[in-house]
Amino acid sequence: QQQVKQSPQSLIVQKGGISIINCAYENTAFDYFPWYQQFPGKGPALLIAIRPDVSEKKEGRFTISFNKSAKQFSLHIMDSQPGDSATYFCAAAKQGAQKLVFGQGTRLTINP
Amino acid sequence: DTAVSQTPKYLVTQMGNDKSIKCEQNLGHDTMYWYKQDSKKFLKIMFSYNNKELIINETVPNRFSPKSPDKAHLNLHINSLELGDSAVYFCASSLRGNQPQHFGDGTRLSIL
């Protein structure tokens, strides 16, 4: 049973464009939603995270949009750059629980 | 300064062998984790330890045995390696079992 579903599996965006990756979750007890960025040969690194008391969080070119009623959240990368090319994972966790449940990952390619 | 370090980075071995992967963190965290990333890049938690105490064991075969000599170290020992154990194994750590989790760069295990 996949508790966090991520789409698309792969995405190609032109430099300067907006990259959008979507995630949907099932467990309403989840209350922490991070996005991780992974480069080849490296471990996942936290990019940005949100809790359900806000609908949007922005850090530089990266924005998380959160829709609690739809149980969906998304990552928007504005002005996408070739250096953003990586695999992105959404995840979810319950407060106080150590277990992070990951989505399947999205391979993002930014064409110069 | 490497925050979460794993050794070795690559491990190639024969089916049936026993091998260990070591993990150390210098972040002062008290909770450590092992994740498995399969060939499709799906990330799944295997174990978590809090102050040397096992907290999460995600239905992992008992051929896998984590050992935490102190809160800065969490090693993974695997007995009787099988072809299906080929994957990238990531160690992570966090403070008091809360988020965010910080990941190492992984150990790529290949079973011949």
Residues A43-83: tens digit of each pLDDT: 999 999 999 899 999 999 999 999 999 999 999 999 999 99
What structural domains does chain A harbor? 4-111 (2.60.40.10)
Domain boundaries, chain B: 4-111
CB atoms within 10 A of CB A69: 5
pLDDT in tens, B78-87: 999 999 999 9
Cis omega (within 30 of 0) for bond into B69 = no
pLDDT in tens, A20-35: 999 999 999 999 999 9
Contact A5, A102 (CB under 8 A): no
Give chain B's residues under pLDDT 50: none
- Give the pLDDT score at B20: 97
Given a cut of 70, whether residue A2 has pLDDT beyond it is: no
- Give the pLDDT score at A18: 98
The C-alpha angle with vertex A44 and arms to B26 and A108, in degrees rounded to 5, equals 155
Mean pLDDT score, A96-102: 84
Residues of B in contact with A87 (CB under 8 A): 41
Find the residue in A nearest to B92 (Cα). Answer: A43
CB atoms within 10 A of CB B26: 12
- Give the pLDDT score at B1: 65
Contact criterion met (CB < 8 Å) for A102 and B105: no
B contact test, residue of A35, A50, A100, A101 with most B CBs within 10 A? A100
| Å between B91 CA and nearest CA of chain A | 9
Q: Does domain B4-111 have CATH number 3.80.10.10?
A: no
Contact criterion met (CB < 8 Å) for B90 and A44: yes
CA nearest neighbour of B15 among B60, B63, B79, B72:
B79
Given a cut of 90, whether residue A92 has pLDDT beyond it is: yes
